[in-house]
Amino acid sequence: MLTLPSPEVVQETALRWKREAKIAFVPTMGCLHEGHLSLVRRAKELAPKVIVSIFVNPLQFGQGEDFEKYPRTLDADAEKLEAEGVDMLFVPTKDDLYPPHFSSRLQVTGLTDSLEGVFRPGHFDGVATVCLKLFQITQSDFAIFGEKDFQQLRVIQQLTADMNLPLLIVGHPTVREQDGLAMSSRNRYLSPEERERAGKLPQVLREIRSTFQTHPEFPIGEILKPARKTLEAAGFKLDYLTIASARDMKPVTDTTLANYIHEPRIFVAGRLGSTRLIDNQSLEEVSS
């Protein structure tokens, strides 16, 4: 596996590869777990050349967020990627991607007006900006994003369409722990006791899906009320627990009836202690 820090060298190499092979790309912030590795395996199915980037992007962290303490585990990450047969690991520094006079920001509107866009102002501008740079540098034909950050996936799909980028954005299902908790680099911040309580989150999402499917005549508020109570009783301080259409990411009102929503999805974000967890799930899928 080639490990390269320089955007110029990565782009040169990618342009050379591209003459003969398609390139699939997995952008990450490192601290890799099984969820990331499943994206890498999907990338390998899609193209003969696979590039992974590791970069903790300062532009997408707000004030008081965990940029400084975000776990950095480069050696262990590189070993995992080598074992998966990744062709290139791109590990730029902050100055490599944002030299002193860097002054551009990309903004995707509409899809970012709700959910994470409200609680993390500027977050998606940072994500969109770094992703556009990474796509240009890696010259990728495919980029794979996990559905755990579903709004991010939709924002990147929109950006790609709006900017006529010649690549396909591929969404990949969330990988979960045994109790259903979505895998996340931030799960390691949880104390053992919080980790146990965190299992309530996927449990509640499953219960919502089940009520939603068995009672499509129920107003959404009635479906969500007991779920909020359960999560708060488990110690969650909720930012939101809401149902939105996957098309426009706009939360529906409490009086909307379940069967009136196109591509309904449940979205949740909340804090357990000092750890912020997010999750989402399609409400159309068959229960597992």
The residues annotated as belonging to the active site are 36
CB nearer to ligand PAF: give 149 or 208: 149
Tokens of 225: 């009320």
Q: Provide the minimum distance between the beta carbon of 260 and ligand PAF in the complex, in angstroms, as a whole number.
A: 31
CB of 57 to ligand PAF, least distance (A): 4
Q: Which residues bind ligand PAF (CB under 6 A)?
A: 27-29, 57, 60, 127, 130-131, 149, 152
Query: Between 99 and 192, whose beta carbon lies closer to ligand PAF?
Result: 99
Complex with ligand PAF: residue 27 or 270, whichever CB lies closer: 27
Q: Locate 281 and state its tokens.
A: 């799930």
Q: Which CB, 127 or 278, lies closer to ligand PAF?
A: 127
What contacts 155, CB < 8 A, 6 or more positions away?
108, 111, 112, 124, 127, 128
The CB-of-28 to ligand PAF minimum distance in angstroms stands at 5
What is the chain's Cα-based Rg? 19
Q: Is 134 helix (H, G, I), strand (E, B) or coil?
A: helix
Report the length, in residues, of the chain: 288
Q: How far is the CB of 25 from ligand PAF (least distance, A)?
A: 10
**Per-position DSSP letters for 1-70, written without gaps between them:** -EEE--HHHHHHHHHHHHTTS-EEEEEE-S---HHHHHHHHHHHHH-SEEEEEE---GGG--TTSSTTTS
Rounded Cα gap, residues 179 and 135, in angstroms: 35
What is the closest distance, in whole angstroms, from the C-beta atom of residue 146 to ligand PAF in the complex? Answer: 7
Alpha helix locations (H) across 74-199?
Answer: 74-83, 94-97, 116-119, 123-138, 150-162, 192-198
Which secondary structure element, helix H or strand E, spans residue 232, and what is its range? helix 220-233
87 vs 125, beta carbon nearer ligand PAF = 125
First-to-last CA distance in the chain? 37
